[in-house]
Amino acid sequence: MDLTELIILLVVAGLCGSIARALAGSTRGGCLVSIALGFIGALIGSKLAMALDLPVVFAITLGGRSYPVVWSIIGASLFVALLSLLSGRKRL
């Protein structure tokens, strides 16, 4: 994987994490948090899809590796929702 592929991967992870944060209603953190959520979401979403025997809906291939965009958004949304539930955020 060269530098260009790494930058593209970070941008895709950031976009997936940002979309997941918006879906889950979280506003904490910045760009690095979104990138981390994108990667964590890809792990959670891929494992969930394999466990439920679901197909890959949309994936981007970079450097010979497949990055499941839809599953990373779903996995990151679940992870953010779980973190919000555990943190006990006060509601107005």
pTM across the whole model: 0.77
The token pair that represents 61 in the structure block? 């291939």
What pLDDT, on the 0 to 100 scale, is given for residue 21?
Answer: 81
The token pair that represents 58 in the structure block? 């949309």
Segments making up each domain of the chain, as ranges: 45-91
> Which of 35, 48, 47, 33 is closest to 83 using CA atoms?
33
- Could you list the pLDDT tens digit for every one of the 92 residues in the chain? 678 777 877 888 888 888 888 887 776 777 888 888 888 888 888 888 889 998 888 888 877 777 788 888 888 888 888 887 887 655 55
Alpha carbon 77 to its chain centroid, in Å, reads: 7
Q: Which residues of 4-17 are buried (b: 16+ CB within 10 A; e: fewer)?
A: eeeeebbebbbbbb
The token pair that represents 17 in the structure block? 């994490």
